[in-house]
Structure 1
Amino acid sequence: MSGMTPLIRIDKLWKVFGEHPERALDDHCQSMDAEQLNARTGLKAAVRDVTLSISSGEIFVVMGLSGSGKSTLLRMINGLILPTGGEVSVDGKPITQLATGELQKLRSNKMAMVFQSFALFPQRTALENAAFGLEVAGVPRQKRLEKAREALERVGLGKDLDRLPQQLSGGMQQRVGLARALALDPPILLMDEAFSALDPLIRREMQEQLLELQAESPRTIVFISHDLDEAVRLGDRIALMKEGKVLQCGTPRELLCKPANEQVRHFFQDVDAASVITVDTVAESPARLINQSDLRQLQIEGDTAIEAPTCIVDDRNIFKGVLQKNGKIIPAETGPALIAETTIRDAMKSVANAPYPLPVIGSDQRLIGVISPRRLLRSMILR
């Protein structure tokens, strides 16, 4: 995400398991693939030479199939696993250089983790479970229960405070786990396959919940997933891993439309392009365009009849409306238009029902182009 400050830096990171794992960092071994390295040295490289920069306030998804190294990478971010080589820095501080007390303080004050397993205490209520992280951090009882109550209310469990885990559905239990992390109010949230144990409907609800929470109070979220649809739906950016390496890192649209290699292309071939590609990337120049000052002159002369609907802009290309064939103007404030970030899928109904190609405008209200039903259809076929 351009313009945002990197909060987490991962530089040439390696994690190798086996005897004398540092052998894998030799030039000779680095040229081997994972299978060759294991066959010749007995070493297993879970993470291989990964360099990433994660920005403050973004949802960063690390995805790949089982064994790709994504969960190992996550555990190196919070120091649960130490790297064989390379470094992870959080807010400019290298993890490996932190003393034990400093590392614990980092986890308590800046990070919280949500696991795939709900990991709730069966004998504790939802409120007590949600307050557990604050209890470990030494927060007084009254204050931690207050914060836990607020967190449970944020995830929709405000009426279930006194229920035990066995009285809650799987989705509700995962909400308690999320509330426990949110109660700490960390700037960084690490989520390891957090929704993968849930059935599809509840999983979708939890994804919606996470996006709503992020919109309310942005934080840096590193989300591990093996599910492509989930990654595309949640991620501002996605790092796709295979055999410990990052194949490509970018926005969902970049990975879909500009895959770095055939492996990435194959991985993303089943993605619904219409739910990823935005209208600003497929908009075309309007067939007819008129400047607001020229329009005024036509109005003075009493001649505003035209052959086809025409977009009106000012001298700075700010969209002002559409001049219809009968000479009437539909102002920008009331007429249909699409903002640049609208996905093709979300734009379909509006484009289909519009009597003319719909204007596409940026956040600065400048006209980017127009999009017609024909253009929309071609964008889906020829991606």
Structure 2
Amino acid sequence: MTGTDTAPAIAVEGLWQVFGPNARAALTEARADGAGTAATLKARGLIPAVREASFEVASGELFVIMGLSGSGKSTLVRCISRLIEPTAGAVRINGEDILTASDKRLIEMRRDTLGMVFQHFGLFPHMSVADNVAFPLKMKGEGKAARRARALEVLNLVGLEGREDAFPRELSGGQRQRVGIARSLAVNPDIWFLDEPFSALDPLIRRQLQDEFLSIQSNLQKSIVFITHDIAEALKLADRIAIMRDGEIVQIGTPTQIVLNPVDDYVREFTRDVPRGRHMTLDEVMEPVGETTPAGDWPELRTGMNLETALTLCAASFEAVPVQDGDGKVVGVVHPESFVRALGGEHG
């Protein structure tokens, strides 16, 4: 994450999205009622899909919003990008109030500042890959040669060089998703919204795209809001994570904070099967020493290293242990580090 000393790329304050008739007036009345606002709205037959959401996304930060289906995460990102008009609250993009922006200004922001990728990416079947990617540039009035050059540039960035003249029907699902990502990058947006972009893909392709996505982000340093329901994906990608339940943000924290310090049973259930050793570091378990360093030929452990990686290094210094068959005959040996590798420790 970068840019923490500058104004946030996105600032969301007290955001509500209520579905139903006369939602704004109903929300105002419910707030003044004194009982729970959401409960009052529900009693009147309205749906409070997003409730009093407030958070900031720093410049260059990859901010993940996750929750179960129906938790409000997709509705929230559509409110932030103003694909849905929020019922109440404030959203500022690079300091500019997007909720009061004119239609003309909103079009400009979506064309020049905001990139969007969704699970169903809607490529034009009659256009080549390059023409699909270049389409936003065509809408901006850029010349054909410039559009083509930029399309080839971003296709190379997402690993699709050589496929620029193919058509969507000739691509795999993962390749089509890469085209959608490339298209959103063509206009070089400052801020990127991605709503479950990999959820429809096979697990292997999904992991490959996650790795490529992280590589792209390390080069471009976009300010990103990424929606997912998958805790493993969130932990892999995020600088920080916001967990949503019933329209509310219940916890915001780094992956380590979410895993090690869940605020309630809902968050704890998300992280129940996550190996703590991948998120806990040596700093949290080591004991201080005096001025004298312990003698011996030790593995090279460093502060900030996660426990699984450290255990792999430490296990390598232990003796191999014999393995016997049913008759007591030694048939092999097992090294302690093999246990760690088999359990995933080598992936740290």
Normalising by the smaller structure, the TM-score range is 0.7 to 0.9
**Aligned residue for 1:242?**
245
User: Of the two, which has the highest radius of gyration?
Assistant: 1
Q: Could you list the per-position Cα deviations for residues 292-324 of structure 1 after superposition, in whole angstroms to 9, with x for gaps in the alignment?
A: xxxxxxxxxxxxxxxxxx26xxxxxxxxxxx54
State how far apart, in whole Å, the 1-side matches of 2:219 and 2:192 are.
Answer: 15
**Aligned residue for 2:16?**
14
* Secondary structure of the corresponding residue to residue 188 of structure 2: coil
Higher relative contact order (CA 8 A, sep 6+): 2
Aligned partners of 2:27 and 2:37 also within 8 Å: no
**Aligned residue for 1:109?**
112
Extract structure 1 runs of 4+ deviating beyond 6 A.
none
Stretches of structure 1 lacking an aligned partner (at least 5 in a row): 291-309, 312-322, 356-372
**Aligned residue for 1:364?**
none
Asked if residue 196 in structure 1 is aligned to residue 194 in structure 2, the reply is no
Asked if residue 336 in structure 1 is aligned to residue 300 in structure 2, the reply is yes
**Aligned residue for 2:229?**
226
State how far apart, in whole Å, the 1-side matches of 2:303 and 2:273 are.
Answer: 26
**Aligned residue for 1:353?**
316
State how far apart, in whole Å, the 2-side matches of 1:168 and 1:124 are.
Answer: 13
167, 173, 183: which one aligns with 2:186? 183
State how far apart, in whole Å, the 1-side matches of 2:12 and 2:180 are.
Answer: 27
Asked if residue 27 in structure 1 is aligned to residue 31 in structure 2, the reply is yes
Cα drift, residue 27 of structure 1: 2.4
Cα drift, residue 214 of structure 1: 1.0
Aligned partners of 2:20 and 2:46 also within 8 Å: yes
Cα drift, residue 262 of structure 1: 2.5
Stretches of structure 2 lacking an aligned partner (at least 5 in a row): 319-336
How many pairs align? 317
Aligned partners of 2:11 and 2:56 also within 8 Å: yes
Task: Go from structure 1 to structure 2 and tell me whether the alpha carbon gap of 1:41 and 1:166 turns closer, same or farther (over 3 Å shift).
Answer: same
* Residue identity opposite 1:350 in structure 2: L
State how far apart, in whole Å, the 1-side matches of 2:176 and 2:34 are.
Answer: 43
Cα drift, residue 261 of structure 1: 2.1
Between stretches 249-258 and 202-211, larger displacement belongs to: 249-258
Task: Go from structure 1 to structure 2 and tell me whether the alpha carbon gap of 1:148 and 1:30 turns closer, same or farther (over 3 Å shift).
Answer: farther
CA RMSD of aligned residues (A): 2.3
Task: Go from structure 1 to structure 2 and tell me whether the alpha carbon gap of 1:42 and 1:176 turns closer, same or farther (over 3 Å shift).
Answer: same
State how far apart, in whole Å, the 2-side matches of 1:31 and 1:274 are.
Answer: 43
* Residue identity opposite 1:101 in structure 2: K
Cα drift, residue 268 of structure 1: 1.9
Q: Could you list the per-position Cα deviations for residues 89-125 of structure 1 after superposition, in whole angstroms to 9, with x for gaps in the alignment?
A: 0111111111111111111111100110131111111
1:18-97 superposed matches below 5 A: 18-22=20-24, 23-25=26-28, 26-27=30-31, 31-32=35-36, 37-38=41-42, 40-97=43-100
Cα drift, residue 354 of structure 1: 4.9
Cα drift, residue 33 of structure 1: 7.4
Q: Could you list the per-position Cα deviations for residues 123-157 of structure 1 after superposition, in whole angstroms to 9, with x for gaps in the alignment?
A: 11111111112122222221111111000001111
150, 154, 158: which one aligns with 1:151? 154
Q: Could you list the per-position Cα deviations for residues 177-203 of structure 1 after superposition, in whole angstroms to 9, with x for gaps in the alignment?
A: 111112211111110000001010000
TM-score, length-scaled by structure 1? 0.77
**Aligned residue for 2:137?**
134
State how far apart, in whole Å, the 2-side matches of 1:54 and 1:278 are.
Answer: 25
Q: Could you list the per-position Cα deviations for residues 209-229 of structure 1 after superposition, in whole angstroms to 9, with x for gaps in the alignment?
A: 111111112111100001111
Task: Go from structure 1 to structure 2 and tell me whether the alpha carbon gap of 1:282 and 1:144 turns closer, same or farther (over 3 Å shift).
Answer: farther
Cα drift, residue 263 of structure 1: 2.1
Cα drift, residue 352 of structure 1: 2.1
Cα drift, residue 283 of structure 1: 2.6
